[in-house]
Structure 1
């Protein structure tokens, strides 16, 4: 099924839901906090300070899992890491549904590369997934930024505002710029997964 379009004819990139696509460029502020080295929590705001999304999960569990919620606490996505793999692989399911109910998968392209590349495969895609990813993420947190691409076109950019002082306090901040008509909850899920892969 083709993605719906806005009145100006530009197709939306809707993965989680159309309600997370807005017809203007969106800038988000992401605040990450590790609580007592046990739980990790992300709060996502717009530039006016309105809470858009929340993500939480345990830090040290062998089977990593992150749950994304809307401002009221309703689960939107569950992200799970496949353990004991040479290349890290994450499955993302809608709500809190079982791992078998997959919305999209994220795979590390090559863990030996200097820069991380993640390949993103939508589950409803019918073509050869091994050779053609739907999206890819290029960058690394220690280079302080990364971009999300659809084909050769960047659809979002993340800048990591890093300092040793904030890191030692278990706090990190990010600025995320999402292009118009792009699902910002999908972009946030990729940020969380890249953060986990690089850390």
Structure 2
């Protein structure tokens, strides 16, 4: 589990709590071209929503708070200078609100390798491109029903996929455990990216 008292805030400190957060994320395919994620606490209160089109040339998802105000925007980046010429190595860029301004870029997430069965992610904070390991690593896969988010050797969040017959109908559910002082909006964004990468 996570160690130390340092707050890990990426989206914002309002999403960090001094205790372990237990979340339920429910995903529903609303139509052929649109899917929706709802994030709840253990008492059923809605905390976040994520919407966006599934099938388009540049996928884009917007995370909103319960009142509908944009929190972050997740944009899939096409091949370019910062991306390897392997189309399977999807890169996502996450911005404050609905911005696409480079000054508002919070973090980037890229598949560690296009050839691995597990679609691990390297996560880089800010706009500065770095070679080698990212600031965070996401390991596991939706298919294996288990995902872990790591910072160095410490696990800061864990996700389990509640796979049922409803999953075949476009309805999926995930249990998310976010350790103390870790930004849960950041963790939910990584879960959405993992799910998107495995459903291209």
2:94 aligns with 92
SS of residue paired to 1:182: coil
Equivalent positions of 1:56-95 (< 5 A) are 56-83=51-78, 85-95=87-97
1:173 aligns with 173
Equivalent positions of 1:19-168 (< 5 A) are 19-83=14-78, 85-98=87-100, 100=102, 101-123=104-126, 129-163=130-164, 165-168=165-168
Q: Cα offset for 1:132?
A: 3.3
Q: Cα offset for 1:167?
A: 2.1
SS of residue paired to 2:166: helix
Worse-superposed segment, 92-101 or 184-193: 92-101
What TM-score, normalized to structure 1?
0.90
Q: CA RMSD in A?
A: 1.4
Check the 8 A contact 1:80/1:99 in 2, yes or no. no
Question: Any idea what the Cα deviations from partners look like across 1:136-193, whole Å, max 9, x if unmatched?
Answer: 1000111101100000100000000112x21232100000000000000000000000
Q: Is residue 194 of structure 2 the alignment partner of residue 188 of structure 1? A: no
C-alpha distance in structure 2 between counterparts of 1:86 and 1:193, whole Å? 14
Q: Cα offset for 1:124?
A: 5.9
Poorly superposed stretches of 4+, deviation over 6 Å: none
Identify unmatched segments of 5+ residues in structure 1: 1-8
C-alpha distance in structure 2 between counterparts of 1:117 and 1:61, whole Å? 23
User: Which gives a bigger RCO, structure 1 or 2 (Cα 8 Å, sep 6+)?
Assistant: 2
Identify unmatched segments of 5+ residues in structure 2: 80-86
Q: Cα offset for 1:96?
A: 0.3
2:82 aligns with none
Check the 8 A contact 2:162/2:175 in 1, yes or no. yes
Q: Cα offset for 1:99?
A: 5.1
C-alpha distance in structure 2 between counterparts of 1:109 and 1:58, whole Å? 24
